[in-house]
Amino acid sequence: MRTRVNVGVVGCGVVATAYYLPYLMSMDNAELVAVCDRDEARAEACKRLFEAKEAYRDYDEMIERADIDAVLILTAPGTHVPFTLRAVEAGKHVLIQKPMALNMEDARTIADAVRKAGVKCIVEPSSNSPLEPGYREIRDVIKQGALGQPFAFFWTSGVPDKYGPGLGGNPYGAGAFYAKDSGGFLFDLPYAPSQVVATLGACKSVMARGTISQQDRWIVPDSEYNEFLRSVTDPQNANYWDVVLDKPRTQYVRQEAEDHFYSVYEMTNGAVGTVWAGRAFHPVPPGMRFGGFQVFGTEGTLVFGYGPNRASMISSKKELFPQTDADGWHHWPRPKATGKSQWPKPAPGGFNYYHASTQHLVDCILEDREPLVGLDWGLHITEMLVGSKRSSDQGVRYEMTTTLDW
């Protein structure tokens, strides 16, 4: 019986060096064999820092030569189809960073190839999904009627109560967040439809409107990231977010993809709700909380992200909960933080989806089982994003073609 999975990584960007690569070093049942990036300096820096055996500039060469069982595809959205197809055709298991694809034709091409090859596939993000602790319990109690008939929900991007470098948009990555083929902020935030589906089940239709609120943008030049990698010596302290937020934005870019989307989702259980995906330019008043997810039903209310709890629910059906507080609320506590947390880093001690997904893929390979956030999940969440874009472009309601039994 196999006890170890050899892993290759394509894309040595910020997410790879902050989360995936450091975690791979710590795993007992996986080994980082190869890293690949078209920027040779980045590939070599990651080979040195994270102790990979090999570094490549050419992806095809890595697939052909490296002794790997799985590939983490951590590149820009436009490369996901060819990189995934090349890997699965060679019999490699894959993890695809968000988004899966920017249209359903590409998403289905990936799904067909994975199924034909018989390999495992995880589609990110796994946060706000069946893989994250707590969501199965919340979903089960909703199925038992704790909310009664869910009829309305609201999901909004978080807005801080003081000025900071995270306002307005990501401080780096012209190709990842601002270019036309990046998908813009909508496709950077699949966390929203993931949380809606993880809580309420499958989506039926979507109507949406996307806009570009500000085309002229300034970001930190990509060259600063290369300088950062050259200077890092501790692989467990290689998070570029620790420094990029404070760097001057001196590179001009144009916002080519929509930076704000307002979507109205109709769920198969009858609930109708809104999702705002975007970035505010200015804060809310000091002490005010803005952003989160709330669900309202005929028998109860569910809220996420307030106070010390992951989620809280109040219901007329108290018998469904093991305990409630004096006001009648049942709480699902969030893991306790063990240090400071700076957006958008995962809270210390909390659920880190990058780590959880990597471990889940390796476990599914070794145990020959299907991932919880696999193709069906990825296709449905992707279509909710694609549906928003199609509805906005065409001015019509988009009817979903995929579904989930969750």
The per-residue b/e assignment along 137-161, b for 16 or more CB within 10 angstroms, e otherwise, is ebbebbeebbbeebeebebbbebbe
**What does the block give as tokens for 282?**
């200015």
Residue 43, amino acid: A
**What does the block give as tokens for 334?**
């969030």
Mean pLDDT of 87-96: 98
DSSP letter at 17? Answer: I
Mean pLDDT of 105-113: 98
Mean pLDDT of 147-158: 96
* pTM, to two decimals: 0.95
Q: How far apart are CA 406 and CA 402, in angstroms?
A: 13
Mean pLDDT of 322-326: 95
Calculate the average pLDDT of the chain: 94
Q: How far apart are CA 284 and CA 296, in angstroms?
A: 24
Domains and CATH numbers, the chain: 5-127+353-374 (3.40.50.720), 135-220+251-345+381-399 (3.30.360.10)
Which pLDDT score, from 0 to 100, does residue 341 have?
Answer: 45
Comparing CA positions, the residue from 44, 41, 46, 40 lying closest to residue 15 is 46
Mean pLDDT of 359-386: 98
User: Residue 106, SS3?
Assistant: helix
Which pLDDT score, from 0 to 100, does residue 103 have?
Answer: 97
DSSP letter at 213? Answer: S
366 φ/ψ angles, rounded to the nearest 5 degrees: -70, -30
Residue with tokens 């957006």: 343
Q: How far apart are CA 141 and CA 135, in angstroms?
A: 10
Which band of pLDDT confidence, cut at 50, 70 and 90, is reported for residue 334? confident
Q: Is 166's pLDDT higher than 90?
A: no
Rg (CA), the chain: 21
- β-bridge pairing 260-267 and 272-278: antiparallel
pLDDT tens for each residue of 262-276: 999 999 999 999 999
Number of neighbours of residue 216 by Cβ within 10 angstroms = 8
**What does the block give as tokens for 338?**
């063990």
Q: Is 335's pLDDT higher than 80?
A: no
Q: Is 336's pLDDT higher than 80?
A: no
Which pLDDT score, from 0 to 100, does residue 289 have?
Answer: 81
